[in-house]
Amino acid sequence: MVSVTRAVFGDLPLGAGTVEKFQLQSDLLKVDIISWGCTITALEVKDRQGRASDVVLGFAELEGYFQKQPYFGAVVGRVANRIAKGTFTLDGKEYKLPINNGPNSLHGGVRGFDKVLWTPQVLSNGVQFSRVSPDGEEGYPGELKVWVTYTLDGGELVVNYRAQASQTTPVNLTNHSYFNLAGQGSPNIYDHEVTIEADAFLPVDETLIPTGEVAPVRGTAFDLRKPVELGKHLQEFHLGGFDHNFCLKRSKEKHFCARVHHAGSGRVLEVYTTQPGVQFYTGNFLDGTLKGKSGAVYPKHSGFCLETQNWPDAVNQASHCIFCISRIFKFHKGKSWRISGNPHSS
């Protein structure tokens, strides 16, 4: 049995609208989602002793999401990840995008999908958000209708993304939740054990744009096919963290992508997807200056993201765009919970 409750989360400045919070709850988990950016603001799951903790980073008040912050819990688009130099050519026409990350355009631009109010519709076991991205928004061509649906079925939280374009346009949607399985506000993720089912990864340049090489993980720090304890692994390979795309097998069927285990709590997170890549990010740019829920601060490496998506800068390095994406977050009571994704690309 799933309950769905609806409440006011806050008001936008200058009477621009009201942001609502939707809480989906089953016996296995509780998740809060707001209509500003389709943002997951809280996700509670039990540990092996049956004690529930919120395991996503974020803010208790709406004002926290208005400040400069690293996309906590939000849906990002029109194109997630980086587009080199904020430019791409489509059907012989060059498009220029806002530059908001070094020399590149990141996560849809200055005012991406994370920074807009979506229209909600309550479902029997979840909530659907929709919006129309007008032609030319943040420099992208064509009108884009977008639907993001969160539904809960027992221990399974499903996030489904769908988009319809009026003309050819790049689309790459994902959710940017930061997780700490020890509980949000815990100082780091070094005791998390990580597995990613990928035989290759994309090396990047100094601005985090893929170089064009698809490199095998074997014999490198990026071989996460067997579980590694994150802190020890970063130390062993002298890495400052991960912010890389791991290349997954291409399949229209949902398949295993990644697993994170926190031994201290017994919580386990798994990701499933049909997307060709997952961006593993270890919160390298968190610096402790943001004040989160319950007075928590978020220093470097205090949360991680597993963003199933198309390969970064694909519009400049490949010939396909993403138009229809779905993703599943699945949880199991007590000792383990499961995040699964099922994006579809075309």
Strand partners, 120: 129
Residue 177 assigned ligand-binding role: yes
Cis peptide before 78 (omega within 30 of 0): yes
More confident residue, 341 or 245: 245
Contacts of 346 (CB under 8 A, 6+ apart): 320, 321, 322, 323, 324
SS3 294: helix
Compute the distance between CA of residue 217 and CA of residue 295 in angstroms, rounded to an integer. 39
Tokens of 16: 């621009």
Point out the residues that are catalytic. 176, 307
More confident residue, 338 or 256: 256
Amino acid, single-letter form, for residue 29: L
Band of the pLDDT at 287, cuts 50, 70, 90? very high
Instruction: Centre a 10 Å sphere on the Cβ of residue 256 and count the other Cβ atoms it contains.
Output: 15
pLDDT at 322 over 60: no
Q: What is the pLDDT of residue 161?
A: 85
Q: What is the pLDDT of residue 318?
A: 63
Between the two ends of the chain, the Cα-to-Cα distance in Å is: 35
Q: What is the largest CA-CA distance in the chain?
A: 59
Residue 176 assigned ligand-binding role: yes
Residue 243 assigned ligand-binding role: yes
What's the average model confidence in pLDDT over 249-263? 89
pLDDT at 323 over 80: no
Residue 251 assigned ligand-binding role: no
User: Over the stretch 166-206, which tens digit does the pLDDT of each residue have?
Assistant: 999 999 999 999 999 999 999 999 999 999 999 999 999 99
Band of the pLDDT at 341, cuts 50, 70, 90? very low
